[in-house]
Amino acid sequence: MKYLHTMVRVSDLEKSLGFYTEVLNLKVSRTMELEGEATLYFLTDGKSCSEIELTYNHNLPDGGYTHGTYFGHFAFETDNMDKFSEKLKNLGFEYSIEPFLITETGPKIAFLKDPDGYQIEIIEKRNKEYY
């Protein structure tokens, strides 16, 4: 068994693509059109085999989508939290939870939200025992 991807629905394709490619440095690996119903964008970090699939349904439900209570967050690693924080600020985004140390010796982590409100955890590369 091989893990392939996680799919999330997005309401504004351009904003979401901008966020995932500019803020998180993901690259579009492929796209797929589903008979005029939806467009799928698969994003990769180029290092692992798993992807995030952004699904844009051409007919959004009235009131948009709602987040379930089961999904928690995506997690991404950064080599340097300070540099990532500066980049985030320069791109006009803010943390929902500012960087902090998870334990006295553990990594620094922070949280932000993508344009649809999905939580993104940023983990500074330090202590491999954390994850």
β-pairing, 119-124 vs 108-113, is antiparallel
Q: Which of 86, 121, 124, 129 is catalytic?
A: 121
- CB hemisphere CA count around 22 (13 angstroms): 15
Q: Is 121 a catalytic residue?
A: yes
Tokens for 43, please give them.
């994003």
Q: What DSSP string describes 64-104?
A: -----SS---EEEEES-HHHHHHHHHHTT--EEEEEEESSS
Residues assigned a catalytic role:
121
